[in-house]
Amino acid sequence: MEENKIVNWFKRNWKNYLFYAVILFFLFNAGAKSWLLQRIMSTGLFNAKIKTEQTANNDSPAPSFSVTDSDGKIITADSLKGKVVLINFWASWCPPCRAEMPSLNKLYNDLKNDEHFVFLFINEDEHIESAKKFISKNNYSIPLYFRLNVPTEIFSGTLPTTLVLDKHGKIVLKHEGMASYDSENFINQLKKLQ
């Protein structure tokens, strides 16, 4: 008799437990969370956009900064003048970073051979091996960079953060949070900055 009560109770409530299990899965699994965020981004609601008034109102160049590549070569803001620069701060453990990475990788592959553009994908993982493993596992071709001297005006610690500097070194886009960067509209906006 007691066994029947348990079976009947479970039959009535199994949907609730399944729902809670799915919620917990998405809360505690970075891969699942990034997959869900990618599905949301695919709706087009999170497409990046350079606002023209943001470009027009910004007359001062970005503060000086320096980063290093995985071979130890130092890159400074001054060495990038004359180029359109996309800077992305990310980490392999960050679900929104993981969600936007396919669009950033596609953007990079579409424009990497254009001499007018420079891409700095600045990794914030504690261990470089985590970043390398993530890039390799997902067949991304983005180059790895690391912060040396980056002021808070450029990166305040929010992941992901993406900036676009025009050829004069002015910040024309600063976006904290995930976005999709491979839309035709965004690529055309970047090309207009050349």
Q: What is the pLDDT of residues 3-26, one digit of tens each?
A: 777 777 777 777 776 776 677 776
The pLDDT tens digits for 83-122 are: 999 999 999 999 999 999 999 999 999 999 999 999 999 9
Identify the CATH homologous superfamily for domain 52-192. Glutaredoxin (3.40.30.10)
Confidence of residue 32 (pLDDT cuts 50, 70, 90): confident
Nearest residue to 93 (alpha-carbon basis) of 133, 62, 60 = 133
Q: Which residues of 111-129 are buried (b: 16+ CB within 10 A; e: fewer)?
A: beeeeebbbbbbbbbeeee
> Residue 80 above 90 pLDDT?
yes
Confidence of residue 173 (pLDDT cuts 50, 70, 90): very high
Rounded CA-CA distance 180/102 in Å is: 9
> Residue 1 above 70 pLDDT?
no
Confidence of residue 79 (pLDDT cuts 50, 70, 90): very high
> Of residues 7 and 79, which shows the higher confidence score?
79
Nearest residue to 165 (alpha-carbon basis) of 58, 90, 73 = 58
Burial of 170 (0-12, 13-18, 19+ CB in 10 A): middle
Backbone φ/ψ region at 72: left (φ over 0), alpha (ψ -120 to 50), beta: left
> Residue 39 above 90 pLDDT?
no
Name the percent of the chain lying above pLDDT 90: 67
Rounded mean pLDDT of 173-185? 95
For the chain, what are the domain ranges?
A: 2-41, 52-192
118: phi then psi, degrees, rounded to nearest 5? -130, 140
Nearest residue to 179 (alpha-carbon basis) of 121, 97, 95, 91 = 97
pLDDT at residue 174, as a whole number = 94
pLDDT at residue 58, as a whole number = 60
> Of residues 163 and 38, which shows the higher confidence score?
163
Under a CB-based contact definition with an 8 Å cutoff, are residues 32 and 26 in contact? yes
Average pLDDT across the chain, whole number? 88
59-73, 102-116, 151-165: least confidently modelled range? 59-73
Residues 6+ apart with CB under 8 A from 104: 88, 121, 142, 162, 181, 182
pLDDT at residue 13, as a whole number = 75
